[in-house]
Amino acid sequence: MRLQLFLAALLVLFICSCNNTKPAEEKKDPLAKASRENKNGWVYVHLEGSPTDIGYQHGYLLANEIDTNIQTIAYYLQHETHREWQFYRNCAKNFLWDKLDREYKDEINGIAAGLNAKNIKYDSLDITALNALEELAFYYVPMLDNIAKPGSGDNKAPGNCSAFIATGSYTKDGKIVIGHNNWTEYIIGQHWNVIADIVPEKGNHMMMDCMPGFIHSGDDFVITANGILITETTITQFKGFDSTGIPEFMRARKAAQYANSIDDVINIFQQGNNGGYANDWLIGDTKTNEVAKLELGLKVSRVWRSKDTAMIGSNFASDSTLIAQETTFNVNDKTTSPNARKKRMEQLVIVDMKGKLDAESGKTIEADHENALQNKTANNRCVICGHIDEDNKGCAEWDLPAYYPMGAVQGKVTTADLAKNMQFWAHMGHPCGQDFIGEKFYKAHPEYAWQSKYLNNMLAYPWTLFSAKQ
């Protein structure tokens, strides 16, 4: 009897223990908060969560685009810089990866994991090299070339972009307006078509345009939920790079994610500056209605700031010391693209549209085709909406021969009120609305037919308002 009672008690304990066993926790879906939408030439992605999750979402949702982007860039760089993709991977391994903060390593690893989940085999070195495209190809490589043969690396700093930022009496409502159009090679620029809406675990909710696989904007146009607005244009004919410094792409991402003021943006960019992708940064803070320009070389930097001004960028430097010490740019040559566009933008932004600047006038500026040197409409290197593919002189200050397929590939504009709601306007393709048709172009300029492997058409789409998910 006692044995029966004992066995019965054991059975009850066993049943109770089985009933009280907690079910195994379900594995979290890293894509649960992410989404993707194709819209008017753009790919909008919402990414949210930990650095690893954000990276995985990015890699998974944009897997095909990242694959095509890396193939295109590797092909282009081999032709133009005479370095294979493995060279850039080695740079990532030798002096970039170890300088990245842990969270950005995790995000990059996450991108690689997302790609691998789609059976697309890239690793963290590929993604790091991709993110460092501008600073490696156009600053580090020219430095190496100049060491090997003095002068061979001149005129390589890219002529990327036209931009403006204005506030106070220069805008229609007295608040900040900011605009930017991206100039780059069409073979690359056709892929600058992602709108990334990122909600990280730490730091600012941010929205930016970027290339597939970038953890930063790259060209740059960023708005954040705490009122920070950032854009830039490169400094023409800049020379200098410090491989011991912090990668520019990480400083750019960190400024967007963690800056709460103009001072924060400046401090993050200056800390560990490696000289890569030397820019005139245009920065706004809608909380204070102040704007600033940070001209950041490797050895020299300068800041201008005001609550009542309009500042422009078209790939020219302003500080005389920086120009003399760190560039070979001729400020007196009116025929260069930077100086011609500077003259036109000064007329438009600072004079003609003073007190009228808003989102619509910003769109008009980015699509402008007035050649200020000739006072007539043109399609060439000297207009804000650039078309070097139609210029019989090319652009010597960027080492681009006649008719090189390069120019304005897209545009963005926003206002303080739009940015408050995490919104900006974006236009894929030439802001003027003109299409680039590869078949017609290569027939006229067969010397560029090598690009036809990855560049066919670059179509212009309508201006589109993008809103971040709240």
pLDDT digits (tens, 9 = 90+) for 424-435: 999 999 999 999
The tens digit of pLDDT for each residue in 187-236 reads: 999 999 999 999 999 999 999 999 999 999 999 999 999 999 999 999 99
Structure confidence at residue 1 as a pLDDT band (50, 70, 90): very low
- The whole-angstrom separation of Cα 229 and Cα 418 is 11
**Pairing, β 194-200 against β 42-49:** parallel
The tens digit of pLDDT for each residue in 358-367 reads: 999 999 999 9
Amino acid in the structure at residue 357: L
List the one residue out of 181, 198, 179 whose CA is nearest residue 358.
Answer: 179
Q: What is the pLDDT of residue 470?
A: 79
Average pLDDT, rounded, for the chain? 95
Q: What is the pLDDT of residue 8?
A: 46
Query: What's the whole-number mean pLDDT along residues 2-21?
Result: 45
The pair of structure tokens assigned to 222 is: 């960023």
Q: Are 408 and 181 in contact (CB under 8 A)?
A: yes
The tens digit of pLDDT for each residue in 71-108 reads: 999 999 999 999 999 999 999 999 999 999 999 999 99
Give 132-199 as a 3 state SS string: CHHHHHHHHHHHHHHHHCCCCCCCCCCCCCEEEEEEHHHECCCCCEEEEEEEEEHHHHCCCCEEEEEE
- The CA R_g of the chain, rounded to the nearest whole Å, is 25
The pair of structure tokens assigned to 217 is: 């904007």
- The whole-angstrom separation of Cα 288 and Cα 168 is 11
Is pTM beyond 0.85? Reply is yes
Environment class of residue 451 by beta-carbon count within 10 Å: exposed (0-12), middle (13-18) or buried (19+)?
buried
- The whole-angstrom separation of Cα 274 and Cα 252 is 12
Which domains are present in the chain? Answer: 35-467 (3.60.60.30)
The pLDDT > 70 percentage for the chain reads 94
The pair of structure tokens assigned to 194 is: 């992602």
The tens digit of pLDDT for each residue in 408-425 reads: 999 999 999 999 999 999
